[in-house]
Structure formats: structure tokens, C-alpha cells
Structure 1
């Protein structure tokens, strides 16, 4: 969990960062300096972290402080880290230190410099002598050959580790250069000069380690003022009986009480009777890492004084093959702790610990115990902790734990117990922690836990439980707080519950582990599976192949703070909406490799207190901005190995990564999964701010609208459009003719309908062309149109080659599209060219109401006077006279223009026609 003041970055500083990339403050962060031959930390590398208290930058390939290849530190490397208390520089290649490297670290408490190439203790002391608070310094595994230095060690330094160097003695400058050191480790050096200990004051030491040196410890004690009880006698080849006796005699001369005697790694093969009888009273005897095969009854190798004081006996990592029975006799009344871990013990006989009736803790774990006598633990009424895990036990009898009435912790895990006899835990009324091991208790038999009225922690991991019954937990339902069911065989294949919820009565349970069910995982989490767990705070479901989760599975977990569902991907995909709706107190959520494809508000919207969210190794291509905005408490986010895309959908994510206060793991290593080698935090977002959609709409909408309107227009306005087209052509043709001299071939163009053709041929043509003087030449369709031309071209040309246009109007004429076009073309000359060329002739009376539908004709009549064909014979002579007068109005004057003869003035045509109209009316 990320916390302010603590920076932990593991392999996160080696990101490929492009030059010139701006940070959140608008400044370019300094590029880390790297070289092909050595690595350094640049000056002021941490200048902007003044509140940092701990710096742990491990396992980085280039810039980390530990487990790297750093060969030097600049003078100003740690400027700004005034509050740093722990600095790890181990596992590098430092061979020298600048005198001012550590000067800014005025609050440094511990410095780790082990596993480097430092060769001069003087240079090291020069670099940290001014640190007023440093307490611990580790210089193990370097190349130090001497402790000479011009600078004294800080007065605050109490622990100094110099193991695994090449020191030959304590040759520091002055006898008091180690006067404040209380814990000194000189193990595994080449110290053979015993006299050097006489020149150094060591009286304040509380622990001195000399293991791995070619030195006589008895001479060291004789020449130095180091108190003998502070020496660690491990690894000094004290394996003979005479050496042990002499050592005890030497220790017996001490005026101070002896707290511990450590004889580890001395290759001791046996301990004879009274081997430690001459030793002063001991509190701790450690014989670990020797070659002991038997220790007897322990009391036999100690004297009466020692037996009365000994509190702890540690005989680990030896070759013990059994613990035999002890007869009645003197007991070690103060012995509280015995550990025989990491041996080869096959059997423990009855009354094996009779010598320690007040034993409090007994560790027999990590052995090969296959036989535990039912009386082996009898008499240990004071025992509170018993470790029997990692053995070969097969049977636990009913009275095995008969006398352990005060036992609080019992660990039987990783054994081969196949049967737990009824009542085996009945006497363990004070037991609070139980790990029964790989037995298979009947799931519905509550008698297995009978008598454990104070049990709080139950570890059933690694068993073969296939189903959980609420009845099984009945005896401990009011006390159980921690339940471990990891690595069992619990599996569900249906959403239909097969009984009451298994944990319905465990209202005090706060920690539940169900991870790694074998071999197929949980499969399905049924509805209300966790009902009743109203106090649960930690739930672990990782390493299960979950196919689906019921939407109400977590409804009762209102107090849940940590939920782990990592590595549960097995086709589950997205979580059902509302699954976390009641988890308002959730602080940590691990969904790594859970198969998630999207993040939705319906799933994550209520997690307002969430601080730690791990989403690595999922199928997320985009991150939902609404979800991140809702997670107001988020401080730690892991999106590693998600196929994030560098598209406009993730523009907000780029800005959020660069400006958010959330600690995003490996933020600068998130690469785009779109084919290009770019990174999510820096891909080009300019294209995302262009409103491409608007441009596309502006281009496509008119075309789409036109495509929709064309069929309608074609159906409703075909003739109107066609007519407009012809008018346009006529206008263009007329414009072309304006620049040329014109000669009218005809006096009048006759526009009529085929229904009125008889009247035209029998009345109009004879009377105007041959019936009087002057004679007029008329243009008729059938007679004067040029063959092979378009009809519209013939009409336009005839109108413009005629001085007038006679429109023979009848009801049939009004219904004709062609006639309507001809009158419109003639009207164009009337309205646009101010040429009075139109002569309307009505063959019949047409009422006003009928003409209202023909807006073109009505428009002409409002502008022009007209003549009507009378049915009476007497009036017909007047009709022809008026018509001749109208046609002759523009031909009274002769005008020669390019061989063209004009019979009248154009300006006279309108008055004459008007007079004719008056006569007709």
C-alpha cells in the first residue's frame, strides 16, 4: 500500500522517456544520466522530495539504488532528502564515496552499503562522520582491509557490521574509535592478530561476533576488556568436551550474569553428562547447526545452578532422530521455550518433556515425526503454543492433548492425519488458533470442533473439503474470526444454492481465505454465498477459475476492506452490474488477471473509499473516465500489461496520468497496442481535438438530403424543372443573339393546340396571309419547323425569328404543357426585353375562375390586352381588322438594317394593340 513519505519503486525508473516531454509543472524533467561504462545518480536527483522518509528503489536496471551497477555517487545526489531515515545502497559496485555525498541526510538512521567494492574505511568514515543521528551501518561484503581513518565514527553509531571483508585485526586510530558501538560483527574476516583487541576499548559491547575467523577465542578474552558474556561463540570450532569445559570455567569468572551462550556451527557431535556444569547460570543455550544426534533429558548436561535459571533451549538444524522418555527427577522449573526444529526426529516417546513441566512453547515442526506417543505431551499443563506442522503424523488420539488445558496455538498442518478421533480437541477449551492439517473432517459433523469455545483462528488449508456446511461451524460460530480454506476442493457448477449459506452464522469472522481451490477452482459463486459475514474485512478469492458471480454475492459484506480476486480469469469477462454496490468501505481491490474488458460505473461507482486498485493483465483497451472521477479516494493504481490503445478514447487518461495524485505503477512503461511503438502517457493527441465529425456531417448531409429529395422532386416537379431548363436554354440563346444583327423571317409565330388546328388553317392563315393587304407571313409548326432539330430549339428559334407571337387560346391550349412553354418563352421577351411580341387570341369565353389555376396565363392577361374570336359573322370582319392592326403596328416604318425591312416603329406597337383591345372590349 502506498503511503505518503515512503517511496518504493521496483524496476520502475528504466522507462523510455522521450526528450522534451513536459511534466505536470510545465518543466522538462531532468533526463537520467547513463553511460556505457558506468552508472551514476545525477546531482539533485531527489531534490524535489523533501518529505521522503524511506527510499527503496530496488532491482532497477539503470537508476536504482540497490541491486544495480552504481559505481559512484555525486556530491549533490541526495540534496533535498533531509527527512530520509533509511537508505539502501547494497548490491552495487561502489568503490569510493565523495566526502559530501551523505551530508544532506541529517536525519539518516540506517545505511546499507553491503555487497559493494569499497576498499577504504577512511573514505567511508569521511562521508558520514557528520551525520548526527546515524545508528546502524552495514559494510559487510566489501573489500576493507583496514579500519584506519582520520575521522571518528558518529557518536550515535551503535551497530557496525563488518562481516565478509579482509580485515586482519582491529587497527583503528585510537583506542576509543569503537567506544560507542554496542553491536559489532567481525565474522568471516581474516582476523588472526589477537593483540589488536588489546588496543581497542570494547567494554560497552553487548554483542561481538567472531565466527569464521582464524582466532583463539580464549586469547581474545584474556587480552581484551570485552566482557565474555557478550561474545558470540558460534563457528569457533569448540567441538571437544575439554573446550566446552574450559569455556564454561572462563565464563564462570565473569562478575555479570550470563544471558545467553551461543555455540552454533561448532561441529559439536555429542554433549556428555555435565558438559555445561561449570557454566554460570544461563538464560539461553543455543546449540543449533551442529551435528548432535541426541540431547538426552537436557537436565543431565547442566548443573543445579544452571538448571534453575535456564529459560530457553534451541537445538535446531542438527541430526536428532528421536526424543526419549525422561524419568522422574530434578526438573528445569524456569524452562519456558524448547525448539527442536529442522532435525530428523522420527518418534517422540511418552513423558519426553518431563524435565520441563512449566514449558510454555514447544516447537517440533519441520521434522519427520511419524510416531507421537499419546503420553508424549502429558504433564505440560502450562503449554500455550505447540508446533507439530510439517511432519509425518497419521494418528492423533483422543487423549494426546489431555493435559494441554492452557494451549492457545496448535499447528498440525502439512501432516498426513487421516482420522481425527472424536473428542480430540475437547480438553482444549482455551485454544484460539488451530491448524488441524490434511485430515478430512466430516463436513456436517460439528463434533470435530466440539469443546473449542474460544477458537478464533481456524486453518483448514490444504485439506480435501469439497462442500461447506453451516452446521460444521456451529461450535465456534460465536468466536471464530479467521478462517483459512485455501487449497481445498470446493467447486460449484450451478447458480442454484444447494443448501443454506455456509457462513450464515459466522457473524464475527473478519478474515476468510478461499483462494486456489483445486483442481478446477470455485467455478461459480452462488447467490448469497457470503450471507451472514457482516463483520468480514478481508476476503481472498484469488487463483480460482471463476466463470460467473451472482450479482448479490457480496451484498452482506458492508464492512469489507480488502478483496482479492486476482488470477481468476476463466472466461468470466466483465463483472455483473451492482456486484460491489454495498462495498462502500472497500479500501483495496485486486482484480489482476480477472479477464475484465471494461470499467463501468454500475460495477465500480460506489467504491468511493477505494485507495488501492490493481487491474494489471486484464483486457482493458480504454479506461472509463467517469469511473476514475468517482474513485475520489484512489491513491494506488496498477494497469500493467493491459492492451491500452493510443486512441482518442484515452486522451483523458494521458492527461490524468500526467496530473493525477494517484501513484500509477510503471506509468511510463505503458506502451500502446496499436502497432506503433509509442506510450500511453505521450502519444499525439492533436487529431483528437479536430471536430472531424462536424466536417463529415457538413459534407455528407447535403448529399444525403439531396438524394432523399430527388425522387420527390422528380415525381412532383418534373415538368416544372424541365420547363425551367428550357427557359434557361432560351435565355442563353437570346444572350448569344443580342450581339448579332437580327432579321425576322416571320411576322408572327402561331402558338396553338392541335385541337384548334382546323381554325388556324381555315381561318387564321387564309385571312392573314392572303385575305387582305398587307399580307403577313406566319410561322407554323408543321410547315416551318426545321426537321432534325430538338422541338425546343425549333420553338425558341421561331419565337426569336418572328416579330410577334400569336397565342390561339382555348381550354385545350391551357392544358397543354408545350403551349404553356411557348407562351412563357414569348412572355420572356415581353417582360425582359420590353418587346411587345405577344398577341393573345381567345377562341372561346373562359371564366375568371378557370383561369385562376393557370397562373402563367393569368399573369399574361394582367399585363396584356387581348382579342376574342366572335361567333357572329358580322363581328368577324372587325376581329380580323383589329388583329391586322396589332400585327401591322410594328411594320409601318421601313428600316433597312443588313437587308432587313421593318414595316413600323417598335414604339408604336403598344399603343396600337391597346386601342385594339379597347375596341374588342
Structure 2
């Protein structure tokens, strides 16, 4: 019957229909048990836990961002198949993927950004990105793509950014990008492209393309076909590090380009620019080419102010002066940004650049300058605003008390030089500086008057030098300074009043020095300090007095990687006055961590939101340790415990706003409600690398806001103690279990996954089960002999009374049977319908037989559920005839019908099932149908005579006589067994009549 429709989808409906139909025969308790079984079956078959096999979810993105990194997986579908449709960002990084199949991401229709970089991707099937109509960013960087099909990007009509950087592409199909009308940024750098015509044709139909990066390819010219033109929207074109020897394009081919990078094409000559319109260019980079500035001006219409003169061989003073004269001859009024880097310039004489047009910004980085001579070479350019001389050979900054001045200079950078000392008044000629960068030098001596008169300086960077001493007047004139960076120097002591004049300072970075103590009044004057970094020093103790000047303004305090420790748990809190502190870092104290955590350490930190205590060997946490941190939202305790730890009940009791708790490798032994139960706002919980063999699910259920749980490398036992946890990990839909499918059992000899370990034996307590069984058996063996001795005759009398009652019961069943609507329900495969119509119906309903048969195609109620029709037909018929053939065995609906008849046999104790075999079926073919074989072992059955019989007509007549006799027989097993036995259902034929009956 209807073999194309599987009954598996209706399993729940079938059970409930059955219960409803038989509600008058099943007790309420039995119904509840069956319903519970159906519900359990449903969860086992149709639910899965909130985890992903190869990806982790960013818990702060509300199910939208997923990262799949280092998973050692080569099947792209396996990585993304279990990601939800809500995903908008997917990052697949450093895996072994070689191919992206068709429709791999079709279920991720909300995807906005897809990053598949640094894999081993070789091929992408057509329509691999089907259904990603919302995708805007696609990154395929650093793979091994060599060929792309024309339709590979089909459907990505909202794509804005596409990166194919660092692949092995040698060519591109002509219309490969035509399906990307909104593409804005295309990166094809670091490939093996050598035919620019092919590239130009592939992008010519992109109406919104603004940037095309073709750096690091093998392009030799920009030659193109006559009908090919770059999109008018294209304004940025990068062609650096190719093999260009000429441009070779039409005059107006590049006329819309605003930024052009041709650097590191060392064979590109000046004549290549002849007859090419580049008048609209705002920036052109020609570093390390064979282009001469003078020749370029003669053969092209490039505007001088758009040229980046870096790396063009302008080495000597004379060459620079000639450049200035050329620019003057071109009537250039202002050069906003003049770049002269990487020219090998070693000296700049006074007035070297005097003849140049006005300069807004000057960059002399990557040269060989040994001195800047107080910027005398800029004489006449007092309007200059920015000056950079990074990565030169400057060794000293001399005093500059000269008449020359640059009142408009606000940005000055000498980073990455060899400056050893900064003398007094070194910046006297730049009184209005706002940003001064002296970092990454070897400054050992800083004159106390070096920054004299820099009253408008806002940012001062002195980090990564060799400064050892700071004096009271070192920063005396820096009243406007807001950011002071002294990180990674060799400062050992902060003397008194060192920062007394820095009343506007907001950020002070002293990290990475050798500070062991502060003099009294060292921080006087820091009235507005908000961020204070002291990490990586040698502080051993701290007290509240050192923070007194900025106690009302400090928001961030970093004390990590010092040598802070406490002798006893009663120490007074050094942070008691920091009432608005938001971020405190005490992690990684040397050499062995904080060890002892005072009970009152965090008193006064009522506004603290983030606390870092990671990498400290703390012996124990007092139950009162975190009591005052009522506004804490982030707590890091990773690697903070010395050995195995039993957290005390109530240790987190006041952290009701905590949303993130990181507790990796803390040696936590148990996960209890007394410890974690009050964290009602917790969203992210990391318990990786702890030693909890079991986890109480009720504790997890007490954390209503939990979104992410990390239990990796926790030695969870695969025993009944964790059966609830295992079921919870599979069935919960709100908590992301980070890489659940990598969790392994630690108590089994062979590797076993935690998510699917066997829990069938965990339904009952085995100890109680065995006790109940043995107790019942002993009592039974004790009572039976006593009853036999004392109550033998009474029991025998009761037996006969019971038999009499049963007889009456089955007589009532017989009367009810006679009221059935049909004599038999016929269960058969639709493939055997011709035999039913041609043989069965004429012999049972015709020829004077007058049996009433129920057939599905004739007697089922229209519009009613199939399962309901089956149940109704079986219970309205005295018998059920199963017409068995190979088609019948393969039919799932037929299997359901024979099971239903078997259920009726079991429940009513009535023999309602008759089997007819239309063809001989070897026993080995029946081995997979255990229910069928079980029925055959208990009951005889009819075999339809085949054509090989000696007398088919006689054999068929005998067959129909026996079937009619079986249909007329009673269905009560009890009554028939008493009278005749099971052999009276069918009269067994003689041994030589094997063609009609098989035992």
C-alpha cells in the first residue's frame, strides 16, 4: 500500500491514534507510559544539541558569527552543514579544504561575510555560492586556486568586496564577474596573471568597481583589445611588482584613474607614459622603476603634485634642487604631500628645498639621514604641517635655539632611528607641536629641557628606548599633554613631582620598565589621569597612597606581570579609594603569582567591571573575596590556582552582574550550585582544562542567560553520573557547547566520544534494582512452599473458578466478534493487486462464498489519515490476511499493518492473523524480517500453488477450501486451544502435498 510514503513521518500520529482508538482498553497509567516513550523517541531521533562539529560561535554576536579554525577537515560541507541560517559572518581558516561543492552554503542565506583564507583550496564547483544573495564580503586569500569557472560567482549580486589574493590564477574567464553588479573592491594580487587583456575584459562590465589590485603578477603591458575599456567607476589601480616594460594602452584607457601604483616594475621606462592621459591622477607611485622625473614631465601630462617621488633616485642635493625648480616651472602652487622616501638621501643642506612650491607635509623616511639640522633645509616653508623622518640614521637631536621657526608644524615623527640623546630645546623651532613620536630609538639621555616650550603638545611617544631617569622638570612645559607613552624603557624609580605639571594627562604608560618603587608625591599633579599602565615592572607591593592624586578619575589600572604578593589574608586593600575604577589587571605576577589573596583586597571597587587574575598560583579564594564587586561583568581566573581547587560555596554570591567567567585550568574539582548558582546573568563560561569528572545539570539550568559553555579537555566520565549531562548537551537549544563533538571520555580504555556514550543502563539505580530483585526472589521462594502446604486445595478450587470466568469472558468476545463489519482486512502490496482482483475477490466474495472483505482502495474513508484508516479497518475485521511476497516485504506500510494485527493478537488474545505466501521465499531472505519469522515459527500458513504443481487446478481448489475454513473459524485462542489445539486452524495435508502448506 502506497509504498512511496514512509510511515516513519507519522510515527507519533500513529501511536496517539492507537491510544485514542483503544482508550477504553488501556489504563491511564499505561497511556502515560506510552506517551512518555514517544516523547523520548522523538528527542532521540529528531533533536541535536546546540553545538557545532567544526566551528565555534562568538557568543557576543547573537548566533551570527562563527569561526572554524585549525579543524584538520578537508570536507567543506562537513564544516558548515550544522551552522544555523542566522549566520552572517563565517570565518574558515587554516583547514585542509581542497574543494567547495555545489550549494555548500545554500542554507546560510543571511550570510554577509564569508572568509575562506589560508586553506588548501584548489577548485570551486559552479554554483558553490548559490543562495548567498546577501553576501557582501568574500575572502579567498592564500589558497591554491588556479582555475575558476565562469559561473562560480553566480547569484552574488550584492557582493561588494572580493579577494583572490595569493592564489595561482593564470587566467580569468571573460564573463566571470558579470554576475557581480555591486562589486566595489577586487583584489587579484599575488597570482600568476600575465594577460591584462583578459583581466580588463573580465571587469569591463562592473558598473560600481572602484579598486582593482593586480600587484605581484606577471603582467608585461596594459595592452587590450579595441572594444575593451575599464569601468568608468574604477579610480584605484595597483600594478606594483609586475613585469611591466610598457603601458601599451589607448590614450584614454586610464583617464578615470585617480590612484595608480606602478612601483617595483624595474624595467618600466619614462617613454611608457607617452600618449597616455593621466591628468586626473591624484597619486602615482613609481618607486623602483626606470622612470626619470625629468623625462616623465616631458612625455606625460601627469600633474607634478600627484607624484610620489619615493625611490626615484633623487639622492643628491642638486637633484632635489632641480626637482624643486621643475615643480616651480610647472607652476605648482602647493604640494599637499611630498614623499621623498627611499631615495638614499644622506644630507640635506640649508635651503635645499627653498625653491620648491609650498609643502603641506614632507616624508623623508627610509633614507640615510644622519642629522636634520633643526630642519634648516625647510627654510621658507613655515606653512608645513607634518614632517616624518622615520627609518633613517639619526643619532642625536641637537639644541635648536635658532631664529628659524615652523609655527604650523603639528606632527613630527623620528621613529625607527638610532637617536641616543635628545638635547635641551631640541624642538624649540616647533613650538606648536601636537604629536611628537620618538619611539623605537635608543634614547638613553633625555635632557630635562628637551621638551621646553611645547605647551600645546598632546601626544608624546618615548616608548621602546633606553631612558633610565625622569626628572622633576622633564615634562614641566607640557601642560596640554594627554597621552604619555614611556613603555619598554629602563626606568627604575619615579622621583617626586616627576609629573606635577601634567594636569591634563589622561593616559600614562609606564609598562615594561624596571620600576620597583615610587617616591612620595611621585604622581602629584595627575589630577585627570584615567588610564595608568604599570605592567611588566618589578613592583612588590602597592598601597592606596600612590593612587591618591587620581583616585577620583582613574578608570583603567594595569598591574600585571609585576612581583606583587601579600603575606596574609588580612592585608588592607590598596584600591579602597578607586571608586570609579572599571578595569583592573593583576594577572601573571612573578615569580610564583600572588599566592595569598586578602579578603579585603577589592574593597572599595564598587564600579569595577573587568578583573584579570589569570596566571597566579592562588592557594585558595576566601568566601568574601569578591563580595564588594557588585558591578563586575568580566572575570578572568585562567591558570590562577596552585594545584587542585575546591571553590568555597558562596564565593561568587554577589557577582550577580557577571556575564563572562574564564576559569581555564584552575583545578576545579566540582561544579556545584552553591558556587555558581548566583551567576544569573552569566553568558560565557569557560571551564576548559579543569578536573571535574561530573557536572550537575541542575547548576547549568540555574544559569538562565548562559549562551556559551567551554568544557574542552575536561576529564568527563562516561558513566551514569553524567547521563543527564550527556542528554542535556544533545537536547539544549540555548547554550553553545564549544566543539562538543571533540569531547572524549577519559575513563575508557578505547577513545570514545562523550556526546554518544551509552546511557541505556542508566534509567534506574542498579544497586536498588538488584536489591529489589533478590529480595523479591527470596520472599517468593520462601512463601511458595508454605502456600503449597497450607492452601493446596483452596488454590486448586480457585483455579477452576478462574477458568470458568475466563470461559465466560471469551464467549462474550465471540459474541462481539460476530458483530464485526468485515470478515477480513486484506493487507497486500500494490504490486500484487492483480492477484487480489483476479483470484482473491472472486473466490471469497463471489461464487457463493459471500465473505465481507476490507480493501484499502475500496473501503478506506476518504480524507481520513492513512494510519487512522488502517487501525479502524483492523479492529472492524474478524481476521487480517497478509498476502506475502517480495514486494510485501519491502513495503513499509505493509510492515505497519502486520505489526498492528500482531498488537491486536497480543492485547485481545485473539488469533486474527492469516498468512498467504504468493511465492516461495527462502528462509535466508526472511532473516532481516525478524517479526515475520517469529510469526511463522508460531503459526502455520498457506502457500499459493505455483505453476510447477502436478495438478494446479486441484491444488488451487484445496487452497481456497482451507482459506475459507480458516476465515470461518473462531478467533479465541483460549477456546480453540481447549478444544482442538492450533492444528485445527488449518488441516495439515499429507506429507506428499507440500505444494499447499509449509510449516
Q: Tell me the TM-score normalized by structure 1.
A: 0.69
Q: Distance in 1 between matches of 2:143 and 2:726?
A: 32
Q: How many angstroms does 1:106 deviate by?
A: 4.8
Per-residue deviation at 1:17? Answer: 9.5
Report the counterpart of residue 440 of structure 1 in structure 2: 515
SS at match of 1:693: coil
Larger Rg: 1 or 2?
A: 1
Equivalent-residue separation in structure 2 for 1:622 and 1:158 (angstroms): 62
Q: Post-superposition shift, 1:724?
A: 4.5
Matches within 5 A, 1:623-702: 625-643=697-715, 649=722, 656=729, 660=733, 666=739, 669-670=742-743, 673=746, 674-676=748-750, 679=753, 683=756, 687-689=758-760, 693=764, 701-702=772-773
Match of 2:570 in 1: 497
Partners of 1:288 and 1:8 in 2: CA distance: 39
Q: For residues 367-398 of structure 1, what are the alpha-carbon distances to aligned partners after superposition, in whole Å with 9 as ceiling and x for unaligned?
A: 11111112211121111222122222222221
Counterpart in the other structure of 1:849: none
Which of 427, 430, 450 is the equivalent residue of 1:376?
Answer: 450
Residues 600/489 of structure 1: CA separation in 2 closer, same or farther (3 Å cut): same
Q: Match for 2:213 among 138, 152, 163?
A: 138
Q: Contact 1:615/1:639 (CA < 8 Å) preserved in 2?
A: yes
Counterpart-to-counterpart distance in 1, 2:707 and 2:275 = 56
Query: What are the ranges of 5 or more consecutive residues in structure 1 without an aligned counterpart?
Result: 27-32, 732-921
Contact 1:232 1:261 in 2 (8 A): yes
> For 2:614 and 2:534, how far apart are their aligned partners in 1?
17
Task: Quote the residue 1:188 is aligned against.
Answer: 264
Structure 1's 652 and 365: CA in aligned 2 closer, same or farther, altered over 3 A? same
Asked if the contact 2:431/2:453 (under 8 Å) is kept, the reply is yes
CA contact (8 A) 2:147 2:171 kept: yes
Match of 2:583 in 1: 511
Correspondent of 1:595 among 640, 647, 667: 667
Q: Over residues 435-478 of structure 1, what are the superposed CA-to-partner deviations in whole Å (9 max), with x where a residue is unaligned? A: 245353646x6511111111111111222111221122111101
State the aligned residue count: 705
Structure 2 residue aligned with 1:49: 108
Q: Tell me which residue corresponds to 1:215.
A: 291
For 2:425 and 2:350, locate their aligned partners in 1 and report how far apart those are by CA, in whole Å.
20
Q: Aligned-pair distance for 1:645?
A: 5.9
* Counterpart position of 2:245: 168
Partner residue, 1:522: 594
In the TM superposition, residue 608 of structure 1 has moved relative to its aligned partner by 4.5
1:302 aligns with 2:373: no
Measured in 1, the distance between the counterparts of 2:774 and 2:213 equals: 80
User: 2 CA distance for matches of 1:708 and 1:493?
Assistant: 66
3-state SS, counterpart of residue 416 of structure 2: coil
Of 568-577 and 550-559, more deviation after overlay is shown by: 568-577
Name the SS of the counterpart of 2:298 in structure 1.
helix
Going from structure 1 to structure 2, the CA distance change for 1:544 and 1:38 (only over 3 Å counts) comes to closer
Alignment equivalent of 1:247, drawn from 323, 326, 347? 323
Is 1:477 aligned to residue 536 of structure 2? no
Structure 2: segments with no counterpart, 5+ residues? 1-57, 86-91, 123-138, 797-999
Contact kept, 8 Å, 1:7 with 1:52, in 2: the verdict is no
Contact 1:604 1:627 (8 Å CA) reproduced: yes
Q: Does the C-alpha gap of structure 1 residues 540 and 474 become closer, same or farther in structure 2, counting only changes over 3 Å?
A: same
Deviations 1:28-66 (A, max 9, x none): xxxxx9xx9993322333233232222233434569933
Match of 1:703 in 2: 774
Shift of residue 700, structure 1, vs aligned partner: 5.1
Structure-1 residue corresponding to 2:364: 287
Measured in 2, the distance between the counterparts of 1:10 and 1:114 equals: 24
Deviates more, 1:52-61 or 1:617-626: 617-626
Are the aligned partners of 1:160 and 1:183 in contact in 2 as well (CA < 8 Å)?
yes
Q: 1:165 & 1:481 partners in 2: Cα distance?
A: 51
**Residue number in structure 1 paired with 2:427:** 353
Does the 8 Å contact 1:455/1:480 carry over to 2? Answer: yes
* Structure 1 residues 562-641: aligned runs within 5 Å: 562-573=634-645, 575-619=647-691, 625-641=697-713
Q: How far is 1:83 from its partner?
A: 5.0
Cα separation, partners in 2 of 1:588 and 1:76, compared to 1, 3 Å = farther
CA distance in 2, matches of 1:223, 1:650: 82
Report the alpha carbon displacement of residue 352 of structure 1 after superposing the two structures with TM. Answer: 1.2
**Equivalent of 1:206, from 258, 282, 295?**
282
SS at match of 1:483: strand
In structure 2, C-alpha distance between the alignment counterparts of 1:575 and 1:147, rounded to whole Å: 70
1:39 aligned residue: 98
Determine the C-alpha separation between the residues in 1 that align with 2:358 and 2:539: 51
Partner residue, 2:301? 225
- Change in CA separation of 1:376 and 1:170 when aligned onto 2, cut-off 3 Å: same
- Structure 2 distance, partners of 1:297, 1:280, is 20
What is the DSSP-based 3-state SS (H/G/I as helix, E as strand, rest coil) of the residue aligned with 1:245?
helix
Q: How far 1:542 moved relative to its partner?
A: 2.5
Residue of structure 1 in register with 2:908 after alignment: none
Q: Distance in 2 between matches of 1:323 and 1:215?
A: 35
Give the whole-Å Cα distance in 2 for the aligned partners of 1:611 and 1:99.
Answer: 50
Structure 2 Cα separation of the partners of residues 626 and 121 of structure 1: 65
Shift of 1:196: 2.9
Q: Deviations over 1:478-537 (max 9, x none)?
A: 11111111211012354x2222x1211111111222222111112233223222222222
Report the secondary structure of 1:319's partner residue: coil
Deviation at 1:320, TM superposition (A): 0.9
| Aligned pair partner of 1:449 in 523, 530, 550 | 523
Question: Matches of 1:598 and 1:21 in 2, distance apart?
Answer: 34
- Report the CA distance shift for 1:578/1:61 in structure 2 as closer, same or farther (over 3 A): farther
Q: Distance in 1 between matches of 2:345 and 2:165?
A: 34
RMSD of aligned residue pairs (Cα, Å): 3.8
Alignment match of 1:315 (pick from 354, 375, 389): 389
Q: Whole-Å Cα distance in 2 between the matches of residues 251 and 612 of structure 1?
A: 62
Name the CA distance, whole Å, in 2 between partners of 1:587 and 1:38.
36
Q: How does 1:406-445 map to 2 (within 5 A)?
A: 406-436=480-510, 438=513, 440=515, 442=517
Find the residue that maps to 1:70 and give its secondary structure. coil
On the 8 A contact 2:620/2:641 being kept in 1, the answer is no
What is the CA–CA distance in structure 2 between the aligned matches of 1:571 and 1:186, rounded to whole Å? 61
Report deviation, 1:625: 4.2
Distance 1:555 1:67 in 2: 50
Aligned to 2:764, the other structure's residue is in SS state helix
CA distance in 1, matches of 2:564, 2:214: 51
Structure 1 residues 301 and 722: CA distance shift in structure 2, 3 A: closer
Give the match's secondary structure for 2:305: helix
Q: CA deviation at 1:347?
A: 1.3
Residue 803 of structure 1 corresponds to none
The verdict on how the C-alpha distance between 1:418 and 1:164 changes in structure 2, with shifts beyond 3 A counting, is same
Alpha-carbon distance in structure 2 between the residues aligned to 1:631 and 1:211: 60
User: 1:19/1:475 Cα in 2 relative to 1: closer, same or farther (>3 Å)?
Assistant: closer
CA distance in 1 between counterparts of 2:725 and 2:229 reads 56
* Residue range with higher mean Cα deviation, 56-65 or 419-428: 56-65
Q: CA deviation at 1:322?
A: 0.7
- Higher RCO, Cα 8 Å, sep 6+: 2
| Deviation readout 1:95-124 (Å, 9 max, x if unpaired) | 344456555555444343333333333444
Rounded to whole Å, the distance in 2 between the matches of 1:109 and 1:726 is 98
TM-score normalised by structure 2 residue count: 0.64
TM superposition shift of 1:297: 0.8
Contact 1:420–1:439 (CA<8 Å) still a contact in 2?
no
- Residues 259, 86 of structure 1: alpha-carbon distance in 2 compared, 3 angstrom cutoff: same
Alignment check: 8 A CA contact 2:97 2:121 kept:
no
